[in-house]
Amino acid sequence: AGLASWRHSLLMVEDPEDWVRSFEDEADGPRASDDTDLVQHSWEAPLLRSWDDIQEDDEGHIQLAKHATQRDLRRKTHDKQVDNRNRLVEKGMIRFMFIIIDLSSAMNINDYRPSRKLVVIEHVCQLIRDYFDQNPISHLGLITSHGKKAHMLTDLSGNPQNQIRILESQADLHADGEFSLQNSLEMARSSLRAVPDYGHREVLIVMSSLNTCDPGDVFQTINSMRADSIRCSVISLSAEVFVCRRLATITLGSYSVSPGSSSLPSLLSQHITPPVVPHSTSRRRRWVYMGFPLKCSNDYPTLCQCHSRFSYEGYQCPRCKSKCCELPTQCSVCNLTLVSSPHLARSYHHLFPLAPYEDITDLYTSPVPCSACLSMISPAESIVLRCDQCQKVYCWDCDQYIHDSLHNCPGCPIR
C-alpha cells in the first residue's frame, strides 16, 4: 500500500524537484513564506561552525574570535604605521600624477556590484577629492584606455571639480575593446617629461584586464619610464599580471590586487600621501619660486589667463598682474607657481607628521571612553591609543582621522 501511494504521488507531481520539495516540507513543517524557495538546501550550505567563533582571552573572559582577529589586525596596522612615521625619509611634496583607468570590456564584469566600471569610477572620484585635500599644491591628470588606444580625459591640473565631472561622464559610456598598457604609458610619459625637476612624477594604473594589446615592445617603454624617473603603481581587479608586476618593480612602484570591492578604497587611499623617494632617485635641492596672489573683485569683467573667459572675480598674480580663476595653479604668463598659505600648510604636514599614539590596550580590562568621539572602547574588540603629550585616550577610528586628515591632536591645545 505504501508503494502504491508513493507511485500515485509521483504521478501527481509533474516536476521531480516539486516532488523532492514536498518531502522537505513534510520534514521541516510549514513554510514561513514563499521567498525561502530561493534559499539553497541545507546540505548545500557551508558548515558554519559557530562554536569556533567563541574563545577565551588571557583573563578568562569569553569573546568572539572575529573581534579578536579585528583587534589583532588593527594592532599590526598600527605597529606598521608607527615604523613608517618614525623613519626619517624624503618625500615628494610637489607631485604630478596620472591615473590610468582601464575601460576595456573587462570592466563590464559584474562581480563588483553593479559593475567594475561604476565601482572604480566612484572610488577614483573619492581618491581625487582626498588627493587634492592632502596634496593641494600637486597636480593630477586622467587617462582612459579602451579599444587598444589611450585617451586623455584631463591634462595635469589642480582643479578636482573639473576632473570629477569629466570622469563621472564616462559612467554612461560602454566599456569595450582591449586595454593597451604601452599606449597609456607613452601618453602619460609625454606629459610627465615636461614636469620640472623638483616635481615627482607618478602613474597609478587601475587595471581590470588580464592582458594588454600593444603596438610595440612594452618592456622598452617600461625602461623609458624608469629612465625618466616616473614611478608606476598598479592596482589589479582580477589577478596579478607579469608585465604589470615588472613595471612596478622596475619603476620602484607598488603592485596590489584587490580581492573585492570592499578593499578597493583602502588600496587607492595608499596613494594619497606622498611616497618615499628612494635614495637612488634623490635629486639635488632646489628653491621653488611661489606667489601668493590676493583675491580681487572688479566692477567690470576682465579676462582670465587660464580659461580665456571674462569674469568679475579672480586671483591676481603678484609678478605679472594677470588674473587666474583658481588656486593652486601655474601662471601661464610668467610660469610662477600660485598657491595660498593654507595649501602650503597642508602639504607641510607630510614632512613633519603627528607623532603616533601609544598602544595601551593591555592596561585596560573594561571599556574606556574615547576622548574625541566619546564612544566606549572595548579592549577585547579594539585597541586603545594614547597621546604621549596630553595623555588623552582615543579609539582606532579617531586615531586614523587625526593622523590622516586632521594632522593635529585635538587634546593637546586644551591640556
pLDDT at 68 over 70: no
pLDDT for residue 280 is more than 90: no
Neighbours of 51 (CB within 10 A): 7
Closest CA to 180 of 219, 142, 148, 222: 148
- According to DSSP, the β-strands at 54-56 and 62-64 are antiparallel
Residue 308's alpha-carbon distances to 59, 111, 297, 303, 409, in angstroms, are 71, 45, 17, 6, 44
The domain defined by 65-79+354-409 carries CATH number 2.60.40.420: no
Mean pLDDT across the chain: 82
C-alpha cell at 196: 620640472
Residues above pLDDT 90, as percent of the chain: 43
How far, CA to CA in Å, does 334 sit from each of 156, 282, 319, 321, 338? 18, 28, 8, 10, 11
List, for residues 361-406, the tens digit of each pLDDT value.
889 889 999 999 999 998 888 899 999 999 999 999 999 899 888 8
pLDDT for position 124: 96
Segment 136-165 mean pLDDT: 92
Task: Select the more confidently predicted residue: 350 or 208.
Answer: 208
- Reading the block at residue 20, the C-alpha cell is 523532492
DSSP conformation letters of 136-197: TT-EEEEEEEETTEEEEEEEEES-HHHHHHHHHHGGGSPP-S---HHHHHHHHHHHHTTS-T
Alpha-carbon torsion (186, 246, 280, 128), positive or negative: positive
* pLDDT surpassing 60 at residue 48: no
* Location of each CATH 3.30.40.10 domain in the chain: 65-79+354-409
d(C-alpha 229, C-alpha 275), whole Å: 13
The per-residue pLDDT for range 242-253, each reduced to its tens digit, is 999 999 999 999
- Write down the pLDDT at residue 281: 56
pLDDT above 80 (res 268): yes
Report yes or no on whether pTM surpasses 0.85. Answer: no
Could you tell me where the beta strands, DSSP code E, fall in 329-415? Answer: 329-330, 337-338, 358-359, 368-369, 376-377, 385-386, 393-394
Quick one: which of 225, 145, 131 has its CA closest to 180?
Answer: 145
Q: If you average pLDDT over each of 90-99, 157-166, 243-252, which comes out highest?
A: 243-252
Residue 248: name the closest of 278, 225, 217 by CA. 225
Cβ(264)–Cβ(123) below 8 Å:
yes
| Per-position b or e across 334-371, b if 16+ CB within 10 A of its CB | bebbbbbeebeebbebeeebbebbebebeeeeeebebb
Residue with cell 579602451: 146
* CA torsion, ordered 229, 333, 163, 404, to nearest 10 deg: 60
Name the nearest CA neighbour of 187 among 262, 107, 101: 101
> Within 63-159, where are the H helices?
65-86, 116-134
pLDDT in the model for residue 331: 86
pLDDT tens digit sequence for 357-371: 999 988 988 999 999
Cβ–Cβ < 8 Å for 309, 297: no
Regarding the domain with residue range 94-276, which homologous superfamily does it belong to in the CATH classification? Answer: von Willebrand factor, type A domain (3.40.50.410)
Whether 272 contacts 131, CB under 8 Å: yes
Please provide residue 111's backbone torsions phi and psi, each rounded to the nearest 5 degrees. Answer: -70, -25
| Cβ proximity of 125 and 118 under 8 Å | no
Is pLDDT at 62 greater than 80 in this prediction?
no
Domain with CATH 3.40.50.410 in the chain: 94-276
- Lowest-confidence pick of 172-176, 314-318, 384-388: 172-176
CA dist 132 and 318 (Å) reads: 24
